[in-house]
Amino acid sequence: MLSTPVPVLEVGGTHVTAALVDLAVGELAGELVREPLPAQGTAEEILGGIAATAARIDCPAAECWGVAVPGPFDYEAGVGLFRDVGKFDALYGVDVRAELMGRLRPTPTTLRFLNDADAFGIGESVAGAAVGHARAVCITLGSGVGSAFLDQGRPVDDGPLVPPDGSVHLLSYGGRPLEDIVSRRGIRAAYARAALDPHVVPDVQTIAELARGGDRHACAVLEQAFRVLGVVLAPWLARFEATALVVGGSIAASWDLIEGPLRAGLCVGPYAGGSGKLVLRTAERHDAALLGAAWWGVSTLTEA
């Protein structure tokens, strides 16, 4: 493992974060820098925003950067494949690696990209809630459902034991995409239907507060969403022989409302017999994706 801090970037739909990670202790080396990012902007605005944020950390010369990016993205080539996904359309077909190599100072030796959900999962496997589990599944709940199927801390994204591309968001329930049910937009839409008021739709945090206060519509919507999540995940957890399921993302802040229905859903279906042995936890680290990106950059550099 490198003795010097590893520079990392985490690119989200609305922000970009830059930091240095000390992998020797599994912690950030100094403060992270987080800035808004214009997801609907031009390529120049997006790339310039990323580079400007990266410039605010004291990066050593000749370093490999780990970069966590949402999909669709060609992670090996470093090329954006965003199209009709509501963000970063201007980066479709853009060689993001080459563009950032030309903008970052000091110039990196290279940039190694990975999916943001995989970065989160690796971070939780290295120093979080999935430590000690050879096979773990880590998911993030927010604007969508991110997922990482991890074998000995490395993402598995193909083969019969995982969903297509290792992506839970590609799964469906009752003929509907999972993200139409378990996501910020899905939960808000379900609440609007239940409350018969499509004009004033509270955010998920407010719906959670209403549920804690006894609002029957809020309780029913959250119960249904997270039970469905469990039902959909159960067969894949069994096939993958996962011993831990770690849940992160902004919606996981309502863990008190998630855990019960999720456990109930995991006990449904022909593949759910082993769900009682599954360790179910909420994420332990707010910096898991940054740690995972650093680990990925170093490990893949060592293998190169």
pTM for this model (two decimals): 0.90
What is the mean pLDDT of the segment spanning 170-182?
A: 95
Do 43 and 29 belong together in one domain? yes
Do 273 and 142 belong together in one domain? yes
3-state secondary structure of 303: helix
What is the mean pLDDT of the segment spanning 37-58?
A: 93
Confidence of residue 171 (pLDDT cuts 50, 70, 90): very high
Answer whether residue 277 shows pLDDT above 80: no
- 24 against 62, higher pLDDT: 24
Do 111 and 234 belong together in one domain? no
- 210 against 275, higher pLDDT: 210
Do 55 and 196 belong together in one domain? no
Asked, for residue 82, whether it belongs to a domain, the answer is yes
Tell me which residue range forms the domain holding 63: 6-119+287-303
Asked, for residue 292, whether it belongs to a domain, the answer is yes
State the CB neighbour count (10 A cutoff) for residue 42. 11
DSSP 8-state class, residue 157: -
What local confidence, expressed as pLDDT, does residue 122 receive? 96
DSSP 8-state class, residue 260: H
Asked, for residue 125, whether it belongs to a domain, the answer is no
- 95 against 277, higher pLDDT: 95
Do 71 and 142 belong together in one domain? no
Residues forming beta bridges with residue 149, ordered by sequence position: 137
Do 166 and 263 belong together in one domain? yes
Answer whether residue 276 shows pLDDT above 70: no
Confidence of residue 304 (pLDDT cuts 50, 70, 90): very low
Domain count for the chain, please give it.
2
Do 140 and 101 belong together in one domain? no
Do 186 and 100 belong together in one domain? no
Do 34 and 77 belong together in one domain? yes
What local confidence, expressed as pLDDT, does residue 113 receive? 96
Question: H or E segment at 34?
Answer: strand 33-36
Asked, for residue 126, whether it belongs to a domain, the answer is no
Answer whether residue 58 shows pLDDT above 60: yes
What local confidence, expressed as pLDDT, does residue 300 receive? 59
Instruction: Quote the distance between the C-alpha of residue 177 and its chain's center.
Output: 18
For position 47, which CATH number holds? 3.30.420.40
Count of helices and strands (H, E) across the chain: 8, 15
Residue type, 296: W
Q: Is the Cβ–Cβ distance between 279 and 245 less than 8 Å?
A: yes
3-state secondary structure of 86: coil
Do 54 and 139 belong together in one domain? no
pLDDT in tens, 77-114: 999 998 877 789 999 999 999 999 999 988 899 999 99
pLDDT in tens, 11-22: 987 899 999 999
Do 273 and 146 belong together in one domain? yes
